[in-house]
Chain A
Amino acid sequence: MKVGVVTFPGSNCDADARYAAQLAGGTVVSLWHKDTSIPADLDLVILPGGFSYGDYLRTGAIARFSPIMAEVVNFAAAGGLVIGICNGFQILCEAGLLPGALTRNHNLQFICKDVLLRTENTSTPFTSSIQPGTTLRIPIAHGEGCYVASPEVIQELEDSNRVVFRYVGDNPNGSMNAIAGIVNASGNVLGMMPHPERAAESILGSSDGMSIFSSIALHLGDTLCSA
């Protein structure tokens, strides 16, 4: 798989995302927020975590107007895989690629700790190698991870099985329905607050995050084999 990782001013998980994608066998290219094109042969674009534009105004609100984002929107519309992690999830919501929004954690604190996630949908390209119901231990690190949306949107997400990850036990940030990650209607854009790239090797405390990267590699491999 060929992976592009976008760096915005204030991104700080871009190097980790590149590393994890490489561990999963990916060839990685760095993309810059001012880029006005992305390589035609990319399989996956990652919007990494961080504090793009200092979180000014709202998290992700300014980054969505970066030149690269118009390309990411086109890439997603053409069926390309996109993952937004943490700040990347916030940017995807602001850009309208995913519904809802992320607001202040209910306890008003920045929370940095491992959480348990239940994989609710294992038929996405991002979770295809995960056994149904598997619990993953992956860290979160955010101040604004409380997922909110209108009751209609929440219902639609639940009915269409688009809640991919849900916090198990403790809901750390007060997200509606304990939502930790969702996909778009076409299933090719994933947004999640937890950081799979920070759980990429056992030396980091958990390698559960790798199951997401390896799912994507498997999904792309399957596509190639069946083509």
Chain B
Amino acid sequence: MKHFTAHVTVTLRRAILDVQGKTVEHALHSLHMPGLQHVRIGKHVEMSVQAADADHARELVERACQQLLANPVMEDVAITITEGFEGDHV
């Protein structure tokens, strides 16, 4: 078994208006940064994964996303898997 770190980004699907993102975008524009657009706000989930290899690690995390971490009705996920631990966890 190897150790991996998974980073999961959960965002609202494009078809669903991201009101938080819209509000932050308006605030950025009022700070005179009109070049910043299409702001989308999501959730970041980080976890360590024990698996035989990176493919199995991804498979496990994909299952976690399907069953719990995201709601496919309204959310999309992006997963990155890296080998080893990242940083110390308390």
| B6 interface hit (Cβ, 8 Å) | no
* Residue numbers in B under 8 Å from A10 (CB-CB): none
Given contacts A61-B68, A105-B19, A106-B19, 7 further A-B contacts (CB under 8 A): A61-B71, A65-B68, A94-B71, A101-B74, A104-B19, A148-B16, A150-B15
Interchain CA distance A131-B64 in the complex, whole Å: 46
Closest B residue to A149 by CB, please name it: B73
Enumerate the 3 nearest inter-chain pairs by beta-carbon distance, A residue then B residue, closest first: A101-B73, A101-B74, A101-B71
Which residues of chain B (60-80) have a CB below 8 Å from chain A?
Answer: 68-69, 71, 73-74
Shortest beta-carbon distance from B73 to chain A in Å: 4
Interface size class of B (residues with CB under 8 A): 10 to 19
Q: Does A108 contact B (CB under 8 A)?
A: yes
- By a beta-carbon cutoff of 8 Å, the part of chain B in contact with chain A is 12, 15-17, 19-20, 23, 68-69, 71, 73-74
For residue B72, which residue of chain A has the nearest CB? A101
Say yes or no: A108-B74 contact (C-beta < 8 A), given A57-B69, A103-B12, A103-B16. Answer: no
Which of A94, A108, A174 contacts B20, CB < 8 Å?
A108
Q: Which residues of A contact B12 (CB under 8 A)?
A: 103
A interface residues, Cβ below 8 angstroms from B: 57-58, 61, 65, 93-94, 99-101, 103-108, 148-150, 174
A108 touches B23 (CB 8 A): yes
Q: Which residues of A contact B73 (CB under 8 A)?
A: 93, 99-101, 148-150
| Complex: chain A residue closest to B18, CB-CB | A104
Per the bound structure, the CA–CA distance linking A61 and B10 in Å amounts to 14
Considering the complex, give the chain B residue whose CB is closest to the CB of A103: B74
A30, B16: Cα distance in complex, Å: 37
Compute how far the CA of A58 lies from the CA of B19 in the bound complex, rounded to whole angstroms.
Answer: 16
- Residues of A near B69 (CB, < 8 A) are 57
Q: Tell me the minimal C-beta distance from A90 to chain B in angstroms.
A: 10
Q: How far is the CB of B69 from chain A (nearest CB, A)?
A: 7
Q: Which residues of A contact B74 (CB under 8 A)?
A: 101, 103, 148
Q: Tell me the smallest distance from the CB of B81 to a CB of chain A, in Å.
A: 21
> Which residues does chain B contribute within 8 Å of A108, judged by CB atoms?
19-20, 23
Contact B23 A58 (CB under 8 A): no
Closest Cβ of chain B to A94, distance in Å, is 7
Which residues of B have CB within 8 Å of A58? 71
Interface centre among A58, A93, A100, A108 (most CB of B within 10 A): A58
| Residue in chain A with minimal CB distance to B69 | A57
Query: In the complex, what residues of B have CB within 8 A of residue A106's CB?
Result: 17, 19
